[in-house]
Amino acid sequence: MHSSDKRGFSRDVHSPEGLADRISDILKCPVTIEDSNHRLISYSKHEANVDDARVATIVRRKVPDKVINSLWKNGVMAKLFESDEPVIVPPVESVGLGRRIAVSVRKNQVILGFIWAQTNDDTVDENTIQILKEAAQLAKNYLLQHQPKQRNSEESYKEFFWQLLSGNVRNRADIERQAKRFGMELNGHMSITLMEFDTDISEMMERHAYYLTETLQQARVIFRLFDQNQLIMLTQLGTMKDSFHDFTADFIHKMEERLHIKPIKGAFGLTYDSPEHITDSYKQALKVLELKEQFPENLQDTYGYHDLGVFQFINEIRKLRTRYAYHNESLEQLKEYDKKHRSEMLVSLEKFLECDCNVHKASQLLHIHINTLNYRLKRITEIGHIDLRNYNQKMTLYLDLLVDKMEMNRL
C-alpha cells in the first residue's frame, strides 16, 4: 500500500463505526469489529452480499455460539490467537457463515478483539492483507476502551475451554495461569465426556443436562458447553470407585427417562492427570462417537476410548487394505457360495466370531438351532479352508468382516 493510501485510510476515523465503514469502503465488502468475547463493537453500513451469520450477529449484538464453535473446530480461532497476520476463513454453510478474512487486534500478547471482512472472494491480495493489519492497529485504542474490567465472563470461560479442546494452549504454566482466573485446578484423572443428541438441544434439554452435571455423583464436571447437538464436558473422577462409564450411562439413562428422548450417544476419551492432554481426550471421545455411528450394534454399550479394542485402529486397517488391494480369499469363497446357494454362511461366521466363538449365544442371535449352526460352521471350514481353532486366523477374519461392513456402509 502506498503512503497516500495509508493517510486516506486513517483520515476522519474517530469512532469504531467510522473505522468499520472506512475498511468497508476500501475493501468493498461488509465489515464487523468485535471484542475478545465476540460482542459486536461496530459494523459497516455495507449491505450487499450479507450472510446469515452477519445478520444474526448484528441483531443479537454478539456472534452466535454455533458460529464461534464452528470457527474453533475448523482451526480458525486457533490461528487468530497464535498470529497477528490476517487469516482466510472458508465458508461454513451449516452455520450461515460466508467466506471471510479476519485479523486479531491485540496489545502485546493480549487479544482485544477481531476484525472480520466478508470478502466472498477466493483470492485475497497483499493490499487487502496490509489494509487489515493497519486497521487492527487503529482498532486497538477503541477496543481498549471497550475492554471489560472483569474478564471472568461466560464468554471468556467458553473461549478458554475451546483453547483446551483444540490444543491451542498446551503449555502447562499458561493453562494453570488461565485456570486460576476461574478458581479451578486442572489436575488428576480428567477426561472429556461427550453427549450427542439426535436433534439440536432445546432450552428444556439444556436445563436438565445442566442439572445432571451438578447432581450426578460419579464424576465432577469442571467445564461444560453446548455445541449444536453435543454437550461437551471436562470431567474429573473423585475416588477410585467412581468411573466415567457409570457417569455416562447414568447421564444417558436419566435424560432419556425424564425427557423421553432417544437416542443419546455417549463417549469419553482417555483419562489424563495433566491439562495439556485435554485436547487428546477430546479427539478420542469424538472418535468413539464416529465409530459408534459406523458400528451401532457392535459398540452400542461402549462409551470409553479404551474400551474400543481393535475398533481404535479399524479405519487405519481399512486404509491399508485399500492401498494394497487386499482381499480375504476365504471370505470371497463364502460370499460366492452364499450367492450361489442362497445360504447364510458369511453372516453365521460373523455372529460366531462376534460372540467370541460361543455357539450357544451365536445360535440364539441367529434364531437357529445350535445343531444347525454347528453344521454351518463345519461347512464354513470346508468351503473357506478355515481353521476355527487358529486364533490368528479367526482374528483376521473378524477384522476383514468389519472392514467389509465399513465398505458396505460407505456405498
Instruction: Please check whether residue 315 is in contact with residue 405, taking contact to mean a CB–CB distance below 8 angstroms.
Output: no
Residue 83 is predicted with a pLDDT of 85
Check whether residue 204 and residue 301 sit in a common domain. Answer: yes
Q: Are 132 and 115 in contact (CB under 8 A)?
A: yes
**Are residues 281 and 329 both part of a single domain?**
no
Region for 367 from its dihedrals, namely left if φ exceeds 0, alpha if ψ lies in -120 to 50, beta otherwise: left
Residue 111 sits in the same domain as residue 164: no
Domain carrying residue 178: 154-307
Rounded-to-integer distance, Cα 388 and Cα 143, Å: 71
Instruction: Tell me the C-alpha distance between 27 and 118, whole Å.
Output: 9
Domain closes at, from 276, 307, 338? 307
Residue 64 and residue 115 in one domain: yes
Q: Are residues 142 and 162 in the same domain?
A: no
Q: Are 139 and 251 found together in one domain?
A: no
Which CATH number goes with the domain that contains 236?
3.30.70
- Greatest alpha-carbon pair distance for the chain in Å reads 91
> Do 299 and 194 share a domain, yes or no?
yes
Residue-wise pLDDT for 67-124, tens only, equals: 988 998 888 988 888 888 999 999 999 999 999 999 999 887 778 889 999 987 666 7
Give me the pLDDT at residue 10, please: 56
Question: How many residues appear in the chain?
Answer: 411
Query: What's the pTM value of the predicted model, to 2 decimals?
Result: 0.72
Kindly state whether residues 299 and 330 are assigned to the same domain: no
Q: Clarify whether residues 324 and 303 are in a common domain.
A: no
> 321 with 389, same domain?
yes
Q: Which residues of the chain have pLDDT under 70?
A: 1-13, 46, 121-123, 147-154, 240, 410-411
SS3 content of the chain, % helix, strand, coil (to 5): 55, 15, 30
Last residue of a domain, one of 240, 275, 307: 307
pLDDT digits (tens, 9 = 90+) for 165-187: 999 888 888 898 888 887 788 88
Q: Quote the number of domains for the chain.
A: 3
| 3-class DSSP state of 192 | strand
110/253 same-domain check? no
Task: Answer yes or no: do 38 and 113 share one domain.
Answer: yes
Q: Answer whether 53's CB lies under 8 Å from 67's CB.
A: yes
Half-sphere exposure of 141 (CA within 13 A, CB side): 6
Radius of gyration of the chain (CA): 27
As to burial, measured by CB atoms within 10 angstroms (0-12 exposed, 13-18 middle, 19+ buried), residue 344 is middle
- The CATH number for 385's domain is 1.10.10.2840
End-of-domain residue from the set 307, 329, 360: 307
Q: In this structure, how many other beta carbons lie within 10 angstroms of the beta carbon of residue 17?
A: 16
Share of the chain above pLDDT 70, in %: 92
